[in-house]
Chains A and B, each alone.
Chain A
Amino acid sequence: MALASGVAGPANGADLLTSTGRLRRRLVFDRVIGWALLAAFLVVLFPLFDMLYWVSAKALPTLTWGTLTQNQVGTGGGLYPMIVGTFVLIGIATAISTAIGVVAGFYTSEYAPAPVARVARIAGNLLAGVPAIVLGYFGYFLLVIYTGWGFTALAGGITLGIFMTPYIYRTTDVALTNVPPAQREAALAMGSRRGQYLVRVAFPIAIPTILTGIFFAMALGLGEAAPILYTAGFSSTPITSLMSPTGSLAVAIWQFYDFPSTYGSFLALAFQAAFLSIVIVLVLNVAVQLLSDRYRRRLRGLYQ
């Protein structure tokens, strides 16, 4: 009110600060839209929480330390071989898909002539659209039959890597393309070659987004049974070498869930595998968020 003192207000003390008429209707409309969006958000979230509840409710009562440490024995025992197998498969797949995806993203975002880049982007999208089971058969014929390896963790990892590559490629390409053009101008004006610009300026700016892409690809890969079913095969004992078949959580869910419900403990193993998969994705998510937040903090102010 200090401001208003000395300024002659309306003689009748009319209220100037409360909106009426059109403006008021608009504010009400804003609020209605806000509630509607919240409702839509909850509708989307509901199946997620329902699923989490359903899986946890079925898995937790039978989950023990042994689930994590024991081999599967008949219709019971633990999931130790599948947990290890999952980490091995995802490890191989992440290494392969990150290497290919990031290098391809570097190439199309900076070096490729426009028509080549366009074709590469379309190819990437097509690969992302290929059903996982088709990739699985591709891996089967190429890496299981043609090579004569039989079912191996390596074949599974490679096939899963091919499945994950387009997602990592696409986020890398987009992240690098979206670096503010002024950064590129400044780097080139300082006498950077394009490769130096990419490595020293663009890549550090793109890292948080690329990390998110890698996480997204890993989460998808964790949940896919199709690419590894006919490449890594299955085993209820722990993996001994990359050239031996291996079990995995995704295939465990697929296999154990498919048995008649009379095999009660089998079904329990399936739910435990599902529960563990979800936990791994959540932990991975938190880790990637923390990591990319650290990088993102340096970028504050860049996009203003």
Chain B
Amino acid sequence: MSASDPGAAPVLTVEHLTVRSPTRTILSDVSLEFADKEVTGIIGPSGCGKTTFIRTLNRMIDTSPGLRVEGSVRYRGQDIYGRGVNPVLVRQRIGMVFQRPTVFPMSIYENVAFGLRLLRTEEETVESVVRRSLTRAGLWNEIGSNLDQPALELSGGQQQRLCIARALAIEPKVLLFDEPTSSLDPIAAQKVEELFGELKKDYAVIIVTHNLQQAARVASRTAFLYQGRLIESGPTEALFERPKESLTQQYITGRFG
């Protein structure tokens, strides 16, 4: 694992991460670092463990019964699997957006305000944060005047950007995306993709994708997972143009996956 920007300590450091189900090993001995203000892509064929991996990064894996996690994931030096760590606080700092949009059956406003209400934020602050979050998710111009509209009435692409706004509202430091555009049509997908360039100015962004072109477009670093192992990681350009491993070479040239 080559070091990221010299001097900048990684936001997340994964070391010897292994995830087992009762019957098999889903991830074995993955070690990887994620730098702040950078987009990292995670690629690999279906079933290689991308979703499992990204869910270990904010302890969403806790909600899958039967999976055991070994190794460590350190957020700014602190192991999120350490003794006494509250997964709720982990998830407030490490936000997540899923493959399919998961808006709540509430108004647009209440969706974005959801996390703030959990934190009992004052209404004045909530209003300005809702506005700022929708703006950052590129939605304010589209739906800023319809905040009382039920979120479920929005298009799929708008719903996905609303989920991003909702995640942004509680000011996480890291944003995890699990194939955020794969359920969207190309135009909606492009609008979501365009956000990553902006988001990386403020957050560490980690994005799982099936789409190699997408990884090449948005990620400055890329990691390739295969059958639960980290095969190779590094600057995206190098990984795509001069892969060190023949498995990587075969995958990016479309020989499997």
Chain A residues proximal to chain B, CB less than 8 Å: 182-193, 196, 200-201, 204-205, 298-302
Within the complex, which residue of B63, B89, B91, B104 is in contact with A201, where a contact is CB–CB below 8 Å? B104
- Tell me which residues across on chain A come within 8 A of B98, comparing CB atoms: 182, 185-186, 189
Contact, CB under 8 Å: B114 / A189: no
Within the complex, which residue of A186, A205, A298, A300 is in contact with B163, where a contact is CB–CB below 8 Å? A186
- Cα–Cα, bound, A3→B195 (Å): 41
Looking at the assembled complex, report how far the CB atom of B230 sits from the nearest CB atom of chain A, in whole angstroms: 24
Chain B residues proximal to chain A, CB less than 8 Å: 58, 60, 63, 88-89, 91-92, 95-96, 98, 100, 102, 104-106, 114-115, 117-118, 150, 152-153, 163, 166-167, 170
- Tell me which residues across on chain B come within 8 A of A298, comparing CB atoms: 105-106, 150, 152
- Tell me which residues across on chain A come within 8 A of B102, comparing CB atoms: 182-183, 185-186
Contact, CB under 8 Å: A191 / B152: no
Contact, CB under 8 Å: B60 / A186: no
Contact, CB under 8 Å: B166 / A302: no
Looking at the assembled complex, report how far the CB atom of A207 sits from the nearest CB atom of chain B, in whole angstroms: 11
- Tell me which residues across on chain A come within 8 A of B60, comparing CB atoms: 185, 188-189
Q: Which B residue's beta carbon lies closest to that of A191?
A: B92
- Tell me which residues across on chain B come within 8 A of A187, comparing CB atoms: 104, 114
Contact, CB under 8 Å: B152 / A301: yes
Looking at the assembled complex, report how far the CB atom of A219 sits from the nearest CB atom of chain B, in whole angstroms: 28
- Tell me which residues across on chain B come within 8 A of A191, comparing CB atoms: 88-89, 91-92, 115, 118, 170
Looking at the assembled complex, report how far the CB atom of A116 sits from the nearest CB atom of chain B, in whole angstroms: 15
Q: Which B residue's beta carbon lies closest to that of A297?
A: B150
Contact, CB under 8 Å: A192 / B118: yes
6 A-B residue pairs with CB within 8 Å: A185-B60, A186-B163, A187-B114, A190-B114, A200-B114, A204-B105
- Tell me which residues across on chain B come within 8 A of A302, comparing CB atoms: 105, 152
Looking at the assembled complex, report how far the CB atom of B115 sits from the nearest CB atom of chain A, in whole angstroms: 5
- Cα–Cα, bound, A204→B152 (Å): 14
Contact, CB under 8 Å: A186 / B104: yes
Contact, CB under 8 Å: B100 / A189: no
**Which 4 A-B residue pairs are closest in the complex by CB-CB distance?**
A186-B102, A301-B152, A191-B92, A189-B96
Once A191-B88, A191-B89, A196-B118 are accepted as A-B contacts, the answer to whether A182 and B166 lie under 8 Å apart by CB is no
Once A186-B102, A205-B105 are accepted as A-B contacts, the answer to whether A192 and B88 lie under 8 Å apart by CB is yes
- Tell me which residues across on chain A come within 8 A of B163, comparing CB atoms: 186
Q: Which A residue's beta carbon lies closest to that of B91?
A: A191
Looking at the assembled complex, report how far the CB atom of B234 sits from the nearest CB atom of chain A, in whole angstroms: 29
- Tell me which residues across on chain A come within 8 A of B63, comparing CB atoms: 184-185, 188
- Tell me which residues across on chain A come within 8 A of B167, comparing CB atoms: 189-190
- Cα–Cα, bound, A299→B105 (Å): 6
- Cα–Cα, bound, A196→B102 (Å): 17
- Tell me which residues across on chain A come within 8 A of B117, comparing CB atoms: 200
- Cα–Cα, bound, A184→B104 (Å): 10
Contact, CB under 8 Å: A193 / B95: no
Looking at the assembled complex, report how far the CB atom of B137 sits from the nearest CB atom of chain A, in whole angstroms: 15
Residue of A187, A301, A302 with most chain B CB atoms under a 10 A cut-off = A301
Residue of B63, B96, B100, B105 with most chain A CB atoms under a 10 A cut-off = B105
Q: A186-B102, A200-B118 are in contact. List 6 more A-B contacts (CB 8 A).
A: A186-B163, A189-B95, A191-B118, A191-B170, A192-B118, A301-B152
Contact, CB under 8 Å: A182 / B105: no
Q: Which A residue's beta carbon lies closest to that of B63?
A: A188
Q: Which A residue's beta carbon lies closest to that of B88?
A: A191
- Cα–Cα, bound, A4→B76 (Å): 66
- Cα–Cα, bound, A192→B114 (Å): 9
Once A190-B166, A190-B170, A302-B105 are accepted as A-B contacts, the answer to whether A182 and B100 lie under 8 Å apart by CB is yes
Q: Which B residue's beta carbon lies closest to that of A299?
A: B105
Looking at the assembled complex, report how far the CB atom of A196 sits from the nearest CB atom of chain B, in whole angstroms: 6
- Tell me which residues across on chain B come within 8 A of A301, comparing CB atoms: 152-153
Within the complex, which residue of A189, A192, A196 is in contact with B58, where a contact is CB–CB below 8 Å? A189
Looking at the assembled complex, report how far the CB atom of A259 sits from the nearest CB atom of chain B, in whole angstroms: 54
Q: Which A residue's beta carbon lies closest to that of B115?
A: A190
- Cα–Cα, bound, A184→B64 (Å): 12
Looking at the assembled complex, report how far the CB atom of B57 sits from the nearest CB atom of chain A, in whole angstroms: 11
- Cα–Cα, bound, A204→B111 (Å): 14
Within the complex, which residue of A184, A185, A300 is in contact with B152, where a contact is CB–CB below 8 Å? A300
Looking at the assembled complex, report how far the CB atom of B67 sits from the nearest CB atom of chain A, in whole angstroms: 15
- Cα–Cα, bound, A189→B58 (Å): 8
- Cα–Cα, bound, A201→B58 (Å): 21
- Cα–Cα, bound, A193→B166 (Å): 17
Looking at the assembled complex, report how far the CB atom of B191 sits from the nearest CB atom of chain A, in whole angstroms: 20
Looking at the assembled complex, report how far the CB atom of A295 sits from the nearest CB atom of chain B, in whole angstroms: 9
- Cα–Cα, bound, A205→B96 (Å): 22
- Cα–Cα, bound, A204→B114 (Å): 14
- Tell me which residues across on chain A come within 8 A of B95, comparing CB atoms: 189-190
- Cα–Cα, bound, A205→B103 (Å): 12
- Tell me which residues across on chain B come within 8 A of A204, comparing CB atoms: 105-106
- Cα–Cα, bound, A182→B178 (Å): 13
Within the complex, which residue of A183, A184, A186, A190 is in contact with B118, where a contact is CB–CB below 8 Å? A190
- Tell me which residues across on chain B come within 8 A of A193, comparing CB atoms: 88
- Tell me which residues across on chain A come within 8 A of B58, comparing CB atoms: 189
- Tell me which residues across on chain B come within 8 A of A205, comparing CB atoms: 105
